[in-house]
Amino acid sequence: MTLTFLGIESSCDDTAAAVVRGDGTILSSVVEGQTALHAAFGGVVPEIAARAHAERLDGCVMQALDQAGMALRDLDGIAVTAGPGLIGGVLSGVMLAKGLAAATGLPMVGVNHLAGHALTPRLTDGLAFPYLMLLISGGHCQFLIVRGAEDFVRLGGSIDDAPGEAFDKTAKLLGLPQPGGPEVSRAAEAGDPKRFALPRPLLDRPGCDMSFSGLKTALLRERDKLVAAQGGLYRQDRADLCAAFQLAVADVLAEKTRRALVSYLEEAPSAPALAVAGGVAANTLIRARLEDVAAQVGATFVAPPLRLCTDNAAMIAFAGIERFRNGGRDGMDLTARPRWPLDQNATPLVGAGRKGAKA
Ligand code: KG4
Ligand code: ZN
């Protein structure tokens, strides 16, 4: 029987609900962002996020059911993000899911938000286990071997900023608008990536861990030198700085991905695949470099459409179905967890990230 689940997501700054079938059909996917609410503060304010989630979740769920042409009784279960993330937001979602489960008698499944991202290539492309996943967004940065719906091996990740966060901070340093990723990459098109020699952090060390905060500091130093020498930045300076920054991030991601692929290929997957998720996967240069690295070792490259790469509830519904199929169920004792690493055996990453502790 094909299962149909409602998914609920509220772990960061997107309030989302979706209705998804186990065969990968997305019947509806509603995402209400909060960018405008946090814009004045230069980052996500947890209290504001939690309040907005609490106010908007009901409406998102109703809209998702409406668009799917379904009522609660047509569902087979409810999946909800139970962490990791900003605790107030996660709690809002978990409380709503509990209320709905209690009222309808439907089974409830708590989902790890990162598992939602990591399983998306199965939702979109039916990818078989095991595949290598690179999560690169404003809040996440890690390599995972996805062996099963609840079986993940983390090969490494950023020890400080996520790459999207570094793009956003770079944009801020150069007076470009937010979100910074698309702005920096647009400016980089007219730039010379060789004019400034920015570092390639942690490339000299073995393994797949990454660091992006030093890169931003190096860029700040170059900016300040220019400002001191000429009183400001010309458009070309900005373009060259953006191009140098983007190339440095792409170089680091490409080399670390090459290493992660080597570890992953040791598992001798029958159909090797590299999948990416997260907003930074939208970057044309980074994407091309990752595609290249995958092709060099004969791995298929999978990049789900952007609306499913960024935070959404369809991935939560689908991950919930995968857990449910494995016998996963939660009761009224389901707790919201601010931290919840996918790979319990991996050493914790140091950085918490702008959007809260993620893994
Ligand atoms: O997946 P996403 O929506 O996650 C978070 O909410 O964290 O990703 C957003 C991040 C932002 O930091 C944004 O600047 C970055 O992805 N981003 C990009 C590009 N488009 C979005 N970074 C680099 N190049 C892009 N084209
Ligand atoms: Zn996310």
- Coil, strand or helix at 298: coil
For residue 347, what are its two tokens?
A: 């050493």
Q: Which residues of 223-259 are buried (b: 16+ CB within 10 A; e: fewer)?
A: beebeeeeeebeeebbbbbbbbbbbbbbbbbbbbbbb
C-alpha to C-alpha distance for 303 and 189, rounded to whole angstroms = 22
Q: What is the pLDDT of residue 359?
A: 45
Nearest CA to ligand 1 atom 23: 181
- Centre of ligand 2 to C-alpha 194, Å, is 33
Residue with the two structure tokens 């702005």: 183
Atom of ligand 1 nearest to the CA of 171: 14
Q: Which of 127, 109, 113 is nearest to 24 (CA)?
A: 127
Chain region(s) in the chain for CATH 3.30.420.40: 4-119+308-325, 129-304
- Centre of ligand 1 to C-alpha 261, Å, is 23
Pick the CATH number of 4-119+308-325 from 3.30.450.20, 3.40.50.2300, 3.30.420.40, 3.30.950.10: 3.30.420.40
Residue with the two structure tokens 């309040």: 51
C-alpha to C-alpha distance for 202 and 205, rounded to whole angstroms = 5
For residue 67, what are its two tokens?
A: 């668009």
pTM of the predicted protein model: 0.92
* Residues in Cβ contact with 95 at an 8 Å cutoff, skipping those fewer than 6 apart: none
Question: Residues lining ligand 1, CB < 6 A?
Answer: 12, 137-139, 164-165, 167-168, 179-182, 185, 278-280, 282-283, 310-311, 355
C-alpha to C-alpha distance for 275 and 342, rounded to whole angstroms = 17
Atom of ligand 1 nearest to the CA of 162: 12
Bridge partners (DSSP) listed for residue 20: 5, 26
Which CATH architecture is the domain 129-304 placed in? 2-Layer Sandwich (3.30)
C-alpha to C-alpha distance for 259 and 276, rounded to whole angstroms = 15
Residues recorded for the chain: 359
Q: What is the pLDDT of residue 19?
A: 98
Q: What is the pLDDT of residue 130?
A: 98
For residue 202, what are its two tokens?
A: 């942690």
Atom of ligand 1 nearest to the CA of 277: 1
Q: Are strands 300-302 and 4-9 parallel, antiparallel or unpaired?
A: unpaired
C-alpha to C-alpha distance for 269 and 145, rounded to whole angstroms = 11
* CA of 10, nearest ligand number: 2
C-alpha to C-alpha distance for 243 and 237, rounded to whole angstroms = 10
- Centre of ligand 1 to C-alpha 276, Å, is 13
- Centre of ligand 1 to C-alpha 278, Å, is 7
Nearest CA to ligand 1 atom 26: 283
Q: What is the pLDDT of residue 351?
A: 52
Ligand 1 binding pocket mutation candidate from 32, 113, 137 (most atoms within 8 A of CB): 137
Q: What is the pLDDT of residue 43?
A: 75
Nearest CA to ligand 1 atom 19: 181
- Centre of ligand 1 to C-alpha 281, Å, is 8
Q: Tell me the pLDDT of the chain (359 aa) as tens digits.
A: 899 999 999 998 899 999 999 999 999 999 998 888 887 787 788 888 889 899 999 999 999 999 999 999 999 999 999 999 999 999 999 999 999 999 999 999 999 999 999 999 999 999 999 999 999 998 889 999 999 999 999 999 999 999 999 999 999 999 998 889 999 999 999 999 999 999 999 999 999 999 999 999 999 999 999 999 999 999 999 999 999 999 999 999 999 999 999 999 999 999 999 999 988 999 999 999 999 999 999 999 999 998 999 899 999 999 999 999 999 999 999 999 999 999 888 877 755 444 444 44
For residue 313, what are its two tokens?
A: 């509830």
- Centre of ligand 2 to C-alpha 91, Å, is 16
C-alpha to C-alpha distance for 37 and 35, rounded to whole angstroms = 6
C-alpha to C-alpha distance for 20 and 295, rounded to whole angstroms = 32
Bridge partners (DSSP) listed for residue 15: 32
Q: What is the pLDDT of residue 350?
A: 59
Dmax (CA) of the chain: 69
Ligand 1 binding pocket mutation candidate from 32, 140, 167 (most atoms within 8 A of CB): 167
Q: What is the pLDDT of residue 66?
A: 98
Residue with the two structure tokens 């030093």: 214
Q: Which of 10, 156, 183 is nearest to 97 (CA)?
A: 10
Q: Are strands 26-33 and 273-277 parallel, antiparallel or unpaired?
A: unpaired
- Please, what is the Cα angle at 134 between 128 and 138, to 5 degrees? 135
- Centre of ligand 2 to C-alpha 307, Å, is 12
Amino acid at 267: E
